[in-house]
């Protein structure tokens, strides 16, 4: 469909942290830095890991906790170094079908919520079953990139 796509993602490991009781924008900021320190060597092997995209944020309906995640590069999928920060953890996300809506510009929490609402409406109208109680935001660009930015919202297929 021109307004969304269905992607199949394989099982993969991500490094994540949960930020509680902050705004989504502040949770993203705090979470990003915790994960950035992990890839800069704040891990059991004191190993630097390449930055990857996207940076995702799990948004649950009616919940003020946000899970921020970095995808672990392929060379670290089998045995990622364990975090030394107690708030950072490695998780395995199972293979899944994901409905994706892409958009440009600088994405705010409000813009992500608006795009997620558009995507959920389209999926409901087309009779596509999906998990409606949460979505992920996915950002692909450095804050210093000014043009041709790429952002996504993801709903998991049921």
Task: Report the C-alpha gap between 9 and 94 in whole angstroms.
Answer: 8
Whether the CB-CB separation of 32 and 55 falls below 8 Å is answered with: yes
End-to-end CA distance of the chain: 18
pLDDT tens digit string along 59-73?
999 899 999 999 999
pLDDT reading at 2 higher than 90:
no
CATH number for the domain formed by residue range(s) 5-156: 3.20.80.10
pLDDT at 104: 96
> Which percentage of the chain shows pLDDT scores above 90?
94
User: Averaged over 87-116, what is the pLDDT?
Assistant: 97
Q: What pLDDT band is residue 122 in, cutting at 50, 70 and 90?
A: very high
pLDDT tens digit string along 21-62?
899 999 999 999 999 999 999 999 999 999 999 999 999 998
User: Averaged over 5-18, what is the pLDDT?
Assistant: 98
> Which percentage of the chain shows pLDDT scores above 70?
99
**Beta carbons within 10 angstroms of residue 33's beta carbon:** 12
Whether the CB-CB separation of 14 and 93 falls below 8 Å is answered with: yes
Q: What pLDDT band is residue 143 in, cutting at 50, 70 and 90?
A: confident
pLDDT at 93: 98
* Domain-wise residue ranges, the chain: 5-156
User: Averaged over 90-113, what is the pLDDT?
Assistant: 97
């Amino acid at each position: 469909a021109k307004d969304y796509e269905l992607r199949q993602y394989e099982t993969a490991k991500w490094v994540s942290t949960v930020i509680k009781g902050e705004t989504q924008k502040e949770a993203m900021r705090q979470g990003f830095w915790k994960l950035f320190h992990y890839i800069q060597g704040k891990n059991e092997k004191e190993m630097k890991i390449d930055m990857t995209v996207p940076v995702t944020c799990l948004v649950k309906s009616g919940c003020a906790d946000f899970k921020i995640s970095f995808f672990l590069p392929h060379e670290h999928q089998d045995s990622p170094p364990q975090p030394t920060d107690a708030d950072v953890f490695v998780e395995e996300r199972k293979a899944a079908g994901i409905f994706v809506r892409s958009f440009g510009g600088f994405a705010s929490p409000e813009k992500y919520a608006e795009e997620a609402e558009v995507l959920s409406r389209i999926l409901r109208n087309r009779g596509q079953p999906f998990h409606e109680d949460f979505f992920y935001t996915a950002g692909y660009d450095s804050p210093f990139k000014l043009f041709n930015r790429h952002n996504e919202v993801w709903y998991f297929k049921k």
